[in-house]
Structure 1
Amino acid sequence: MAQLIDHPLRHATASELHARPFPHISAPARAAFFAYTSAQNDSGRQEAADRAHFLRLLDHYNVAHPAETESHFFGQLGDVWIKWECHTEFVTYTAFVDDLGDAAFDGSEFAIFPAAWQAAMPGTTLSS
C-alpha cells in the first residue's frame, strides 16, 4: 500500500471533532435539527448575536451558561437533551426527545424551541 500523506491540518481537525463528542441516545427517540447562518455577506456569521440567542434559550429553561469560550454545548432543557454547535459559517441545534410522540414526523419535537425564540433567530435557516 502506498504511503498516505497527512493534510497539514489533519491533527487539528481531528482534535476539533473529538472535542465535540457525539451524543448517545437510546431508542425509542426522535430528534429535531436545524442549522442557520447569521452571515449577511462573505464576512462570516454574527458570533455575538448567535451566542446571545443561544443563551436566551438556556435562560428560558433556567440552565447555566457554558464558558464564554465554548462553541458547543450538550445538556438538558427540561426533559429534552439539546446539542448546540457554532461552526465558522453556521450554527446547529439538535434536540433529542426520549419518546416517539403521538404521530410520526409531526414536528412536535420542535416545541422545545419556544415560538418567540424561533421568531427572533438572528439569521436564515439552512437546513431543518
Structure 2
Amino acid sequence: PLFFRISATDWLEEDGWTADETVRLAALLQEHGVDLLDVSTGGLAPRVKIPTGPGYQVPFAARVKAETTLPVAAVGLITEPEQAEKILANGEADAVLLGRELLRDPYWARRAAAELGAEPRIPGQYQRAW
C-alpha cells in the first residue's frame, strides 16, 4: 500500500496551507494511487501558535475522512489506548499512527492490548523475552 503523509495545515493565518486545500489534494492523491492519507499538521514556521493537546490533529483527519473516500490515519498526541480506540470507533479515522509515543513507551502496544482486554499474540521467537 502507498501511504502519503500530509500537513493538513501549516497553522499560518495568511498565505498558508489550509484544510480546504488538503481535502482537494486528497481526492487527487487517490486518483493517483495513494491508498491512505496520514494526516498531520505543520509546525516549523517560527511565528505560528499551535493549539496542542491530546489528539489535537485528529479533527483534520476526521474532516478529510468525512469529505473524501480516501482512507485516513490520525496522529498527534495520541497517547492512551482508549483514546486511539475512540478515534477509530467514532469513525474519525481508519487508522491511528503513533510516533513520539512509541519513543516514550516502547511497550505501548502491549499495554494497549492489556488495557483494552485483548490477548497479545507474541511471535514464538520473541516469547522468551516476555
Shorter-chain TM-score category?
Answer: under 0.3
Give the TM-score normalised by structure 2: 0.22
Q: Could you say which structure has the higher strand fraction?
A: 1
Give the TM-score normalised by structure 1: 0.23
Bigger relative contact order (CA 8 A; separation at least 6) = 1
